[in-house]
Amino acid sequence: MTTATIKPLYLLPFDHRHSYIKGMFHFDPPLSDTQHDHVAASKQLIYDGFKAAVGTGLAQADAGILVDEEFGAALLRDAQARGFVTAVSVEKSGQDDFQFEYGNDFAAHIEAFHPTYAKVLVRYNPAGDAAVNAAQREHLKKLSDYCQRSSCGFMFELLVPATAAQLASVQGDKKAYDVELRCDLMLQAIGQLQDADIEPTLWKIEGLDQRADCERIVAQVQRGGRHHTHCIVLGRGADIAQVEHWLSTAASVPGFIGFAVGRTTFWDAVADVEAQKITRLQGVAHVAERYRRWITIFEQGLRARNDAERVPAIPAASAVHSAGAST
């Protein structure tokens, strides 16, 4: 089996499409050429912020972007040429159930960019519609098989939206759902996907408040000898304090090797540039500052973990994410 070698990964995801187009620009698809170029230019701003942050001393092999083909094709090619980790989204945006963006041609679109990872975002609740879940597993198995045959890693972003019954069981309190139910449901979902021979290289995990829950997730993704499978924590568009807590918590647990924080990194910067509250240069600096902030928080957590365990720290400067390494 060929996968991406897992090392520290500080990922800036800006593959948002449907929600980004509507929420940021209030555009209605299909976009005109002018609207398309406007969205693409905003993603160039985010990428410029990423590059500015990396230029302050972060090892290129630890830094990565996740962006879509539609608005970020040129950015993917540039990032790969510069030696960054690259991930391209392959799911159709704005759908409740997983579908390939380019249907049965998904492999050709991945191969056009030779990314480190092919990424999917999947909404999967084990107590959800059984037929929908089965259909999703069937599609995802195709991608998993492809990634195992190829030199491309498989990145899986798992979201577990509450069913109506689950939300009612906590009196409609979404925070209570997160704390009391979501981790158990994530464990069940991961287990069902693994049992269907769907084998990600890397799981993108929604932030968890408790270290013990992070440990349970790692144990699940690595069960049955899957020791080369790891996790990164995502930001969910939460506020700075919440993101920092999730980063610190995840960093304290072996098996979490980085993060993917998108909207909390770039949304305010892009919105303020669009509203002409700040200059483009200031927007780039804002993205860079936020991205570096997450790295600082995560690496502080790693150092604390390694001090407690008396083991060597994960080497930030020498880590390499190389597609095609056998495991």
- Band (pLDDT 50/70/90 cuts) for residue 4 is very low
pLDDT of 1 strictly over 80: no
Predicted TM-score (pTM) of this structure: 0.91
Tell me the per-residue pLDDT of 193-215, one tens digit each, with 9 for 90 and over: 999 999 999 999 999 999 999 99
Residue, of 224 and 305, whose pLDDT is higher: 224
Mean pLDDT over each residue of the chain, to the nearest integer: 93
For residue 30, whether the previous peptide bond is cis, meaning omega lies within 30 degrees of 0, is: yes
What is the domain extent for residue 222?
Answer: 2-326
Number of domains present in the structure of the chain: 1
Q: Which amino acid is at 70?
A: E
Distance CA 163, CA 132 (A): 14
Cite the DSSP H helix spans in 164-309: 164-169, 174-176, 183-195, 211-221, 240-251, 263-274, 280-309
Tell me the per-residue pLDDT of 65-76, one tens digit each, with 9 for 90 and over: 999 999 999 999
Sequential DSSP letters for 63-85: EEEEE-HHHHHHHHHHHHHHT-E
Token pair 């040129």 is found at 74
CATH for 213: 3.20.20.70
Tell me the per-residue pLDDT of 94-139, one tens digit each, with 9 for 90 and over: 999 999 999 999 999 999 999 999 999 999 999 999 999 999 999 9
230-234 and 256-260 beta bridge pairing: parallel
- Band (pLDDT 50/70/90 cuts) for residue 308 is confident
pLDDT of 227 strictly over 90: yes
pLDDT of 318 strictly over 80: no
- Express as a percent the part of the chain with pLDDT over 70: 93
Tell me the per-residue pLDDT of 32-65, one tens digit each, with 9 for 90 and over: 999 999 999 999 999 999 999 998 888 888 999 9
Distance CA 325, CA 1 (A): 9
pLDDT of 317 strictly over 90: no
